[in-house]
Amino acid sequence: QVQLVESGGGLVQAGGSLRLSCAPSGDIFSVNEMGWYCQAPGNQRELVADITSDGTTNYADAVKGRFTIARDNAKNTVYLQMDSLKPEDTAVYYCFAQIQRRRYYPSQPYWGQGTQVTVSS
C-alpha cells in the first residue's frame, strides 16, 4: 500500500518560517506531479504550489515570493519552504502526488494525511 508521509508542520509566529516535506512510502515506479494544498476551517481545499517532474513550478498568488516548492527526484520527496508566514496561512496542508506504481500502469493521485500549520500574530 502506498502512502504519502508528511512532516514539518507546527506553530510559528508571524514572519517566521517552516519547511514541509513529503515522500511516498511503499514500492513505486515513478512520481510525476507533486504539490501542496491547504484547507482552512470552513474553506475548500486549494492549491498552494505544485511542481512537475522536470521542475516546472506553479504557485497560488497569495504565496508567490514567500513560499518555494522543490523536489528531490532521487528521493521522490517534495518540499515546501514557507517564509514570511502570515496568520492567514494557518491551515492544514496536504501533500499531493501523481504516482505510477508499476511500469505501464497509469498514474493515480495520492494525498497525505495533512499537517497543521498555525501562524500566530
Q: Where are the beta strands (DSSP E) in the chain?
A: 3-7, 10-13, 18-25, 30-39, 46-51, 57-59, 67-72, 77-82, 91-100, 108-111, 115-120
pLDDT tens digit string along 22-78? 999 989 999 999 999 999 999 999 999 999 999 999 999 999 999 999 999 999 999
Q: How far is CA 95 from CA 13, 19, 80, 103, 104, in A?
A: 23, 13, 10, 23, 24
Residue 63: strand, helix, or coil = helix
